[in-house]
Copies of this chain bind each other. A is one copy, B any other.
Amino acid sequence: MNTKERCYLRNETGYEMELTDLLTFSTVARLGGITRAADELNTVQSNVTQRIKALEAEIGTALFERHSRGMTLTGAGRRLLPYAQRMAALSREAVLAARDDGEPKGPLSIGSMETTAAVRLPMLLAEFHRRFPAVRLTLSTATTADLVAAVLDGSLDGAFVAGPIEHAELISTVAFREELVLVSAQRWKTLAALRAGTSESGPTALVFRTGCTYRQRLEQVFAEFGWPSAARFELGTLDGMIGCVAADMGVTMLPRAVVERDYVRGDVNIHKLSPQHTRVETLFIQRRTAHQYSALQGFVACLDGDDRVVAA
């Protein structure tokens, strides 16, 4: 072998591994093939092959098992993968930390459950924007399960989710306390009437997609009411759901604050349930990181400031 002094300091440490190599590796691992990885990385197969081979040569072990339909990780690959992901996350964080001079500014990605976004966030976001106009806030909605995953992997800076959440990597603070209520069409004046007036298997349950905590609560309530096999109807939007309830397609469970307006207007009726089913805390979660991102700190400051604990 000829002398292969690639780069001045790689000789120094003995390691040539670079972040790009690790990203390539992660991508191949995730997609299970060089062709697919090359496609996602906007390059050609040959390139990815070379990088992987170089990485394997440096580490001294095969990272993938090659078979005709792609590649799967070897033991060494499985051990390397979490490091690759961790380092990628750290590099993103590092740039943000360096740029962050304490003045809240720059991008901030916040996630939220749809229900919280509808009734709690408008005021809060307005307030935030008034105080920190330099922050470019992005709000996206998803289920609690997806939001937790997104915060953990760094694609969201923080999120409003339904508690309880316990995770060592997350800092969570109570943002709002909600009371869930069973929502039915206007014609069902009481819970008793609803239970008496529907078919034996119970009314149709209007639910968000899997991963939503409110849905789980509704499942519990239905089980207790003896409706374990009631029909489920999955909807994607809050407005659609309330509309369907108003049209007596079924019932759902939502925070009182969310349906208060519809209730007052007479579009739907609401039914109280026992506290153990209805008390739910909306938490704001963020990743535990070395550096406190100023924009995020500003956001949390807005949370603490006023809007907390509104509903009974």
Contact = CB atoms under 8 A, between A and B. Distances in A.
Contacts of A27: 9
A19 interface: yes
Nearest to A84: B94
A86 B90 CA distance: 8
Contact of A291 (B61, B79, B98): B79
Contacts of A24: 9
Contacts of A84: 94
Given A15-B92, A15-B95, A86-B90, A23 B9 contact: yes
Nearest to A27: B9
A97 B80 CA distance: 7
Which of A40, A58, A95, A99 has the most chain B CB atoms inside 10 A of its CB? A95
Contact of A59 (B41, B95, B290): B95
A101 B76 contact: yes
A93 B10 CA distance: 16
A75 interface: yes
Interface string A57-99: 0111101000000000001110110111011101111110111
A106 to B, nearest CB: 10
A169 B101 CA distance: 28
Given A83-B290, A87-B90, A94-B80, A99 B61 contact: yes
A63 to B, nearest CB: 7
Contact of A90 (B11, B20, B76, B83): B83
A214 B10 CA distance: 40
A83 B99 contact: no
A184 to B, nearest CB: 49
B97 A79 contact: yes
7 contacts: A9-B41, A18-B20, A19-B19, A58-B95, A79-B100, A82-B290, A84-B94
Give 3 closest A-B pairs by Cβ, nearest first. A83-B94, A8-B43, A80-B98
Interface of A: 7-13, 15, 17-20, 22-24, 27, 40-43, 47, 58-61, 63, 75-77, 79-80, 82-84, 86-88, 90-95, 97-101, 290-291
